[in-house]
Amino acid sequence: MQKVSVEPVPLGKHMGYDVRVLDEGATLQDYLAGMEEAIEKLPLTRRRCLGNGCRGCDACCGERIPLTSIDLLRIYHRLSRDFHQQKGFLSVGISATKASACAKGLAQAKFSLETLAWHQALRRYGYVVAEGRKVDIIVRTGEDGRCVFLEPHSRLCGIYPVRPLVCRTYICCPQTARVERLRAEVVNLGEDQLVRDWLLDAAVRGAQPDFHEGYVAAPARDDWPPTPFAEKRDYAEVLLKDVCSTKLWQQLRS
Ligand code: SF4
Ligand code: SF4
Protein backbone atom coordinates (compact mmCIF):
# COMPACT_ATOMS: atom_id res chain seq x y z
CA MET A 1 0.00 0.00 0.00
CA GLN A 2 1.22 3.48 -0.90
CA LYS A 3 2.20 5.36 2.26
CA VAL A 4 3.25 8.71 0.83
CA SER A 5 1.48 10.38 -2.05
CA VAL A 6 3.21 12.89 -4.33
CA GLU A 7 0.57 14.63 -6.41
CA PRO A 8 0.72 17.24 -9.18
CA VAL A 9 -0.94 20.57 -8.39
CA PRO A 10 -1.10 23.75 -10.48
CA LEU A 11 0.81 26.50 -8.66
CA GLY A 12 0.71 29.85 -10.41
CA LYS A 13 1.40 29.32 -14.09
CA HIS A 14 3.29 26.07 -13.55
CA MET A 15 2.56 22.47 -12.65
CA GLY A 16 4.06 21.79 -9.25
CA TYR A 17 3.47 19.16 -6.60
CA ASP A 18 2.32 18.43 -3.09
CA VAL A 19 3.09 15.61 -0.65
CA ARG A 20 0.67 13.84 1.69
CA VAL A 21 1.45 11.13 4.20
CA LEU A 22 -1.21 8.42 4.01
CA ASP A 23 0.08 6.08 6.68
CA GLU A 24 1.30 6.68 10.24
CA GLY A 25 4.18 4.27 9.68
CA ALA A 26 5.55 5.96 6.54
CA THR A 27 9.33 6.12 6.31
CA LEU A 28 11.75 8.45 4.58
CA GLN A 29 12.14 5.74 1.95
CA ASP A 30 8.40 5.95 1.21
CA TYR A 31 8.80 9.69 0.63
CA LEU A 32 11.80 9.04 -1.64
CA ALA A 33 9.90 6.37 -3.59
CA GLY A 34 7.11 8.90 -4.18
CA MET A 35 9.65 11.45 -5.38
CA GLU A 36 11.33 8.95 -7.73
CA GLU A 37 7.97 8.24 -9.32
CA ALA A 38 7.17 11.95 -9.56
CA ILE A 39 10.50 12.64 -11.28
CA GLU A 40 9.88 9.87 -13.80
CA LYS A 41 6.13 10.12 -14.39
CA LEU A 42 4.41 13.32 -13.28
CA PRO A 43 3.90 16.13 -15.82
CA LEU A 44 5.77 18.68 -13.69
CA THR A 45 7.23 21.92 -14.97
CA ARG A 46 11.03 22.00 -15.08
CA ARG A 47 11.72 25.70 -14.66
CA ARG A 48 15.50 25.45 -14.92
CA CYS A 49 15.78 23.03 -17.80
CA LEU A 50 15.55 24.03 -21.43
CA GLY A 51 15.78 20.45 -22.69
CA ASN A 52 14.04 17.19 -22.03
CA GLY A 53 13.40 17.08 -18.28
CA CYS A 54 16.08 15.92 -15.84
CA ARG A 55 17.86 13.46 -18.12
CA GLY A 56 21.19 14.96 -19.11
CA CYS A 57 20.46 18.24 -17.27
CA ASP A 58 22.93 19.30 -14.58
CA ALA A 59 21.58 22.73 -13.75
CA CYS A 60 21.10 21.82 -10.08
CA CYS A 61 24.47 20.04 -9.63
CA GLY A 62 26.50 23.15 -8.89
CA GLU A 63 24.75 24.14 -5.70
CA ARG A 64 25.43 23.48 -2.04
CA ILE A 65 24.66 19.79 -1.45
CA PRO A 66 24.42 19.04 2.29
CA LEU A 67 25.13 15.45 3.26
CA THR A 68 23.27 13.36 5.82
CA SER A 69 24.77 10.58 7.93
CA ILE A 70 22.92 8.00 5.81
CA ASP A 71 24.01 9.61 2.53
CA LEU A 72 27.67 9.25 3.42
CA LEU A 73 27.27 5.61 4.47
CA ARG A 74 25.36 4.74 1.31
CA ILE A 75 27.87 6.44 -0.98
CA TYR A 76 30.81 4.90 0.82
CA HIS A 77 29.42 1.35 0.87
CA ARG A 78 28.24 1.51 -2.72
CA LEU A 79 31.58 2.72 -4.04
CA SER A 80 33.41 0.23 -1.88
CA ARG A 81 31.23 -2.71 -2.96
CA ASP A 82 31.46 -1.83 -6.63
CA PHE A 83 35.18 -1.34 -6.36
CA HIS A 84 35.55 -4.88 -5.06
CA GLN A 85 33.14 -6.40 -7.56
CA GLN A 86 34.52 -4.30 -10.44
CA LYS A 87 31.02 -4.06 -11.83
CA GLY A 88 30.10 -0.41 -11.83
CA PHE A 89 26.63 0.76 -10.86
CA LEU A 90 24.33 -1.67 -12.64
CA SER A 91 21.42 -1.14 -10.37
CA VAL A 92 17.70 -1.57 -10.68
CA GLY A 93 15.80 1.58 -11.54
CA ILE A 94 18.28 3.47 -13.67
CA SER A 95 18.55 3.55 -17.39
CA ALA A 96 21.29 1.78 -19.30
CA THR A 97 22.68 5.19 -20.24
CA LYS A 98 22.92 6.26 -16.65
CA ALA A 99 24.36 2.89 -15.59
CA SER A 100 27.01 3.08 -18.25
CA ALA A 101 27.94 6.61 -17.21
CA CYS A 102 28.15 5.47 -13.59
CA ALA A 103 30.44 2.56 -14.44
CA LYS A 104 32.64 4.88 -16.43
CA GLY A 105 32.81 7.29 -13.52
CA LEU A 106 33.94 4.50 -11.24
CA ALA A 107 36.63 3.38 -13.66
CA GLN A 108 37.88 6.94 -13.92
CA ALA A 109 38.04 7.33 -10.16
CA LYS A 110 41.04 4.97 -9.88
CA PHE A 111 41.24 5.05 -6.13
CA SER A 112 41.52 2.26 -3.66
CA LEU A 113 38.70 1.95 -1.19
CA GLU A 114 40.13 -1.18 0.39
CA THR A 115 41.61 0.67 3.30
CA LEU A 116 39.54 3.82 3.25
CA ALA A 117 38.06 4.46 6.69
CA TRP A 118 34.83 6.35 7.37
CA HIS A 119 36.58 9.61 8.21
CA GLN A 120 38.77 9.30 5.11
CA ALA A 121 35.68 8.77 2.97
CA LEU A 122 34.22 11.93 4.46
CA ARG A 123 37.43 13.79 3.74
CA ARG A 124 37.51 12.54 0.16
CA TYR A 125 33.88 13.01 -0.88
CA GLY A 126 32.70 15.61 1.61
CA TYR A 127 33.73 19.13 2.50
CA VAL A 128 33.61 20.20 6.12
CA VAL A 129 33.39 23.88 7.04
CA ALA A 130 33.64 24.80 10.72
CA GLU A 131 33.04 28.35 11.85
CA GLY A 132 32.94 28.95 15.56
CA ARG A 133 30.50 26.31 16.85
CA LYS A 134 28.73 25.98 13.49
CA VAL A 135 29.54 23.12 11.11
CA ASP A 136 28.43 22.50 7.54
CA ILE A 137 29.17 19.20 5.77
CA ILE A 138 28.53 19.21 2.04
CA VAL A 139 29.52 17.26 -1.05
CA ARG A 140 32.95 18.22 -2.37
CA THR A 141 33.05 20.20 -5.59
CA GLY A 142 35.60 20.03 -8.39
CA GLU A 143 37.70 22.86 -9.75
CA ASP A 144 34.76 23.93 -11.91
CA GLY A 145 32.59 24.37 -8.82
CA ARG A 146 30.35 21.48 -9.84
CA CYS A 147 29.58 18.44 -7.70
CA VAL A 148 32.49 16.00 -7.73
CA PHE A 149 30.14 13.14 -8.69
CA LEU A 150 28.92 14.83 -11.86
CA GLU A 151 30.17 13.18 -15.03
CA PRO A 152 31.60 16.08 -17.04
CA HIS A 153 30.92 14.71 -20.53
CA SER A 154 27.56 12.99 -20.12
CA ARG A 155 26.33 15.52 -17.48
CA LEU A 156 24.85 12.57 -15.61
CA CYS A 157 25.16 11.77 -11.92
CA GLY A 158 27.98 9.28 -11.33
CA ILE A 159 26.36 7.93 -8.16
CA TYR A 160 22.71 8.15 -9.20
CA PRO A 161 21.37 5.20 -7.14
CA VAL A 162 22.96 6.54 -3.95
CA ARG A 163 22.84 10.28 -4.58
CA PRO A 164 22.20 12.39 -1.49
CA LEU A 165 18.80 12.99 0.06
CA VAL A 166 18.84 16.64 -1.00
CA CYS A 167 19.24 15.58 -4.65
CA ARG A 168 16.59 12.88 -4.45
CA THR A 169 14.02 15.32 -3.09
CA TYR A 170 14.55 18.11 -5.60
CA ILE A 171 12.61 18.95 -8.75
CA CYS A 172 12.90 22.49 -10.14
CA CYS A 173 9.15 23.06 -10.17
CA PRO A 174 6.89 24.92 -7.73
CA GLN A 175 5.93 23.10 -4.56
CA THR A 176 3.61 23.70 -1.66
CA ALA A 177 4.85 25.25 1.58
CA ARG A 178 4.64 21.93 3.43
CA VAL A 179 6.80 20.23 0.83
CA GLU A 180 9.49 22.91 1.20
CA ARG A 181 9.35 22.49 4.97
CA LEU A 182 9.52 18.70 4.76
CA ARG A 183 12.62 18.74 2.59
CA ALA A 184 14.36 21.32 4.77
CA GLU A 185 13.58 19.52 8.04
CA VAL A 186 14.71 16.06 6.96
CA VAL A 187 17.88 17.24 5.23
CA ASN A 188 18.89 19.47 8.15
CA LEU A 189 18.30 16.76 10.73
CA GLY A 190 20.26 14.23 8.67
CA GLU A 191 23.17 16.65 8.36
CA ASP A 192 23.04 17.32 12.11
CA GLN A 193 23.51 13.60 12.69
CA LEU A 194 26.48 13.54 10.32
CA VAL A 195 28.10 16.38 12.26
CA ARG A 196 27.57 14.44 15.48
CA ASP A 197 29.03 11.27 13.93
CA TRP A 198 32.01 13.29 12.68
CA LEU A 199 32.69 14.56 16.20
CA LEU A 200 32.19 11.13 17.77
CA ASP A 201 34.49 9.46 15.24
CA ALA A 202 37.26 11.94 16.03
CA ALA A 203 36.77 11.40 19.76
CA VAL A 204 36.99 7.60 19.36
CA ARG A 205 40.22 7.96 17.37
CA GLY A 206 41.60 10.41 19.93
CA ALA A 207 42.04 12.94 17.13
CA GLN A 208 40.90 16.45 16.45
CA PRO A 209 37.92 16.69 14.06
CA ASP A 210 39.26 17.01 10.54
CA PHE A 211 37.87 19.91 8.51
CA HIS A 212 38.63 21.50 5.14
CA GLU A 213 37.92 25.08 6.13
CA GLY A 214 37.89 26.53 9.61
CA TYR A 215 37.24 29.99 10.99
CA VAL A 216 37.93 30.14 14.73
CA ALA A 217 36.54 26.60 14.69
CA ALA A 218 35.23 25.39 18.04
CA PRO A 219 32.71 22.60 17.35
CA ALA A 220 31.26 21.10 20.52
CA ARG A 221 29.54 17.72 20.74
CA ASP A 222 26.94 19.06 23.20
CA ASP A 223 25.59 21.25 20.38
CA TRP A 224 24.78 18.15 18.31
CA PRO A 225 22.55 15.78 20.29
CA PRO A 226 21.51 12.42 18.78
CA THR A 227 18.76 12.59 16.15
CA PRO A 228 16.36 9.91 14.84
CA PHE A 229 19.02 9.23 12.15
CA ALA A 230 21.39 7.87 14.81
CA GLU A 231 22.73 4.39 13.96
CA LYS A 232 20.46 4.15 10.91
CA ARG A 233 21.99 2.88 7.70
CA ASP A 234 19.07 3.20 5.33
CA TYR A 235 16.17 5.60 4.78
CA ALA A 236 13.71 2.71 5.19
CA GLU A 237 14.71 2.62 8.87
CA VAL A 238 13.71 6.24 9.55
CA LEU A 239 10.07 7.02 10.35
CA LEU A 240 8.83 10.27 8.85
CA LYS A 241 6.94 11.19 11.99
CA ASP A 242 10.21 11.00 13.95
CA VAL A 243 11.98 13.50 11.71
CA CYS A 244 9.17 16.02 11.19
CA SER A 245 8.19 18.74 13.63
CA THR A 246 4.74 18.24 15.19
CA LYS A 247 3.25 21.06 13.14
CA LEU A 248 4.65 19.73 9.87
CA TRP A 249 3.49 16.20 10.65
CA GLN A 250 -0.06 17.43 11.19
CA GLN A 251 0.06 19.33 7.91
CA LEU A 252 1.36 16.31 6.01
CA ARG A 253 -1.39 14.09 7.46
CA SER A 254 -4.24 16.54 6.68
S1 SF4 B 1 15.54 19.24 -11.30
FE2 SF4 B 1 17.70 19.64 -11.74
S3 SF4 B 1 18.23 18.09 -13.27
FE4 SF4 B 1 15.99 18.19 -13.24
S5 SF4 B 1 15.45 19.67 -14.86
FE6 SF4 B 1 15.59 20.79 -12.92
S7 SF4 B 1 17.66 21.62 -12.83
FE8 SF4 B 1 17.64 19.97 -14.38
S1 SF4 C 1 25.25 13.82 -6.27
FE2 SF4 C 1 24.58 13.56 -8.39
S3 SF4 C 1 22.56 14.54 -8.51
FE4 SF4 C 1 23.56 15.27 -6.64
S5 SF4 C 1 24.57 17.19 -7.20
FE6 SF4 C 1 26.08 15.52 -7.44
S7 SF4 C 1 25.94 14.88 -9.57
FE8 SF4 C 1 24.11 16.10 -9.11
Structure confidence by residue, pLDDT tens digits, 98-114: 334 444 444 444 344 55
In the predicted structure, residue 252 carries a pLDDT above the cut 80 = yes
pLDDT of residue 94: 29
Ligand 2 mean position to 190 CA, how many Å?
17
Residues 130-159 have pLDDT tens digits of 999 999 999 999 999 999 999 988 889 999
Please work out whether the CB of residue 57 comes within 6 Å of at least one atom of ligand 1: yes
Give the CA count within 13 Å in the CB-facing half-sphere of 240: 27
What is the average pLDDT value for the chain, to the nearest integer? 87
Confidence category of residue 253, pLDDT binned at 50, 70, 90: very high
- Helix, strand, coil in percent for the chain, rounding step 5: 40, 15, 45
* Residue 116 neighbours by CB under 8 Å, 6+ apart: 76, 80, 124
Round to whole Å and give the CA distance between 253 and 19: 9
Query: Virtual CA dihedral for 76, 81, 84, 90, nearest 10 degrees?
Result: -120
Rounded distance from Cα 62 to ligand 2 centre (Å): 8
**Any ligand 2 atom below 6 A from CB of 54:** no
Stated pTM of the model: 0.88
Which ligand is in closest contact with the Cα of 168? 2
List, in order, residues 6 or more apart from 191 with CB less than 8 Å away. Answer: 66, 67, 68, 136, 137
Q: For residues 177 and 195, is the Cβ–Cβ distance under 8 A?
A: no
**Which range, of 37-46, 53-62, 223-232, averages the lowest pLDDT?**
53-62
Pocket residue to mutate for ligand 2, from 63, 147, 155, 187, most atoms within 8 A of Cβ: 147
DSSP letter for 141, please.
B
Does ligand 2 have an atom closer than 6 angstroms to the CB of 130? no
**CA-based diameter of the chain, in Å?**
56
Residues sharing a CB contact under 8 Å with residue 64, sequence separation 6 or more, in sequence order = 138
The residue whose C-alpha atom lies closest to atom 5 belonging to ligand 1 is: 54
Q: Which of 60-69, 108-117, 124-133 bottoms out in mean pLDDT, i.e. has the lowest?
A: 108-117
Q: Is 163 in the pocket of ligand 2 (CB under 6 A)?
A: yes
Cβ distance 174 to 209 under 8 Å?
no
Q: Which ligand is in closest contact with the Cα of 173?
A: 1
What distance lies between CA 203 and its chain's CA centroid?
A: 26
Is the pLDDT assigned to residue 43 strictly greater than 70?
Answer: yes
- The Cα 121–Cα 201 span in angstroms is 12
Is the CB of 65 inside a 6 Å radius of any atom of ligand 2? yes
Q: Which ligand is nearest to the CA of 158?
A: 2
Which residues fall within 8 angstroms of residue 123, CB to CB, at 6 or more apart?
A: 210, 212
Whole-number Å distance, alpha carbon 149 to ligand 2 midpoint, is 6
